[in-house]
Amino acid sequence: DGGITQSPKYLFRKEGQNVTLSCEQNLNHDAMYWYRQDPGQGLRLIYYSQIVNDFQKGDIAEGYSVSREKKESFPLTVTSAQKNPTAFYLCASIPMGGVRTEAFFGQGTRLTVV
């Protein structure tokens, strides 16, 4: 079955440490997105990529970095520059072609700073 897999489900980070969240999709979607979710808030866009080897900042990119070396993979690194990284992170993918722009979501990674 096609889908999006995020790992790990739970991640703990020490102060000053970089961590990388994995997102893999086998839907053959061109576009991939990273969102951050805080309690009582909607999802905010961190970074997105519509084609391999290209990515763009979203609305809250500071303190994060991404890469898109393969179509299937869009890892997110939370750097030490991100001052408040504790949140639920969701990865999504969207097909660029076709009439319907439907985003498929992974099950999320909950990151906690300890």
Partner 1 sequence: GEDVEQSLFLSVREGDSSVINCTYTDSSSTYLYWYKQEPGAGLQLLTYIFSNMDMKQDQRLTVLLNKKDKHLSLRIADTQTGDSAIYFCAESKDTGRRALTFGSGTRLQVQP
CB neighbourhood size of 85 (10 A): 21
Instruction: Assess 31 for contact with partner 1 (CB under 8 A).
Output: yes
The torsion defined by the Cα of 36, 114, 10 and 33, in degrees rounded to 10, comes to: 20
Contact indicator for 59, 44 with CB cutoff of 8 Å: yes
Question: Cβ 49 to partner 1, closest distance in Å?
Answer: 10
**Under a CB-based contact definition with an 8 Å cutoff, are residues 83 and 64 in contact?**
no
Measured CA to CA, the distance from residue 110 to residue 86 in angstroms comes to 8
Q: Does position 61 bind partner 1 by CB under 8 A?
A: no
State in angstroms the smallest separation of the CB of 16 from partner 1.
Answer: 27
Q: Which amino acid appears at position 41 of this protein?
A: Q
- Residue in 27, 43, 60, 61 binding partner 1, rule: CB under 8 A: 43
**How far apart (Å, rounded) are the C-alpha atoms in residues 46 and 59?**
6
Whichever of 80 and 104 has its CB closer to partner 1, that residue is: 104
Q: Which stretch binds partner 1 (CB under 8 A): 20-28, 40-48, 69-77, 78-86?
A: 40-48
Q: Quick one: 30 or 80, whose CB is closer to partner 1?
A: 30
**Contacts to partner 1 by CB under 8 A:** 6, 31, 33, 35, 40-43, 45, 48, 50, 56, 58, 90, 92, 94, 96, 100-108, 110
